[in-house]
Homo-oligomer: A and B are copies of this chain.
Amino acid sequence: MPTRDLSQPLDDDVTVYPGDPSVERHPAATHEDDGYRVTELRFGSHAGTHVDAPSHTEPDGRTIDQFDVGQFAFDARLVDCSDTNAREPIRPADLPFGTEVSALDAEMLVVRTGWDEFWGTDRYYDHPYLSREAAAQCADLGLHVAFDALSPDPSPSQTDRTGRTESSVDAEPEGVPAHRELLGSERFVVENLRGLDDLPEEFELRAYPLALDRGDGSPVRAVAVW
């Protein structure tokens, strides 16, 4: 079956959400000293390509280990929203539900913004986002949402070179309305996909989280199969 890797690399240049832990890798054992190589990994639960559990934004939300693993293989439907400008909303009319808002024959809507090309640059933070109404419509239709950008909500501006944020992180509950509409309805959100161009309109997206006890999310290897 044709397969495509939709994952950003976990290297020294990972773009993380402002305030999130950076991605670090340190030698823990080496061929020279130990006869084998092991690496200590340090990163946030939302580093790189990852899936959000409801508990990410919902205080009473379920954690990532409380779902059957089979739920993370999604019948996905791609929608191209790459004509949306920086920091502009994707609205219900941009989504493929038709005028009568009928359900898709899919479990997940994969929204292509094309913003993956800015990975590793300040512009990556200026991605389009999903309007609250569009997110609510997805949730009402039972759709999980995946995105080739940092977040379905607007992100704070890039941290400056001293590590301070230029604008404060607006993380009050009203600050992440698309997240809350989706995660509050037990719909997953997959972020930081890449390579959605030229994919078929329908495919299976596999995004199995690590078996993190009480996890609020997990890095994943996101794979498209069709």
Question: A residues near B, CB below 8 A?
Answer: 1, 3-5, 7-12, 17, 19-21, 25, 28-29, 31, 34-46, 48-49, 55-57, 59, 65, 68-70, 72-73, 169, 171-173, 175-176, 179, 206, 208-217, 219-221, 223
Given A5-B69, A206-B206, A211-B8, the answer on whether A40 and B28 have CB atoms closer than 8 Å is no
- A173 contacts which chain B residues (CB < 8 A)? 35
Q: How many copies does the complex hold?
A: 2
- A214 contacts which chain B residues (CB < 8 A)? 11
Given A10-B212, A20-B28, A69-B3, the answer on whether A42 and B40 have CB atoms closer than 8 Å is yes
**A55 touching B70 by the CB < 8 A rule?**
no
**B56 touching A37 by the CB < 8 A rule?**
yes
- A57 contacts which chain B residues (CB < 8 A)? 35-37
- Complex-state Cα separation, A175 to B39, whole angstroms: 20
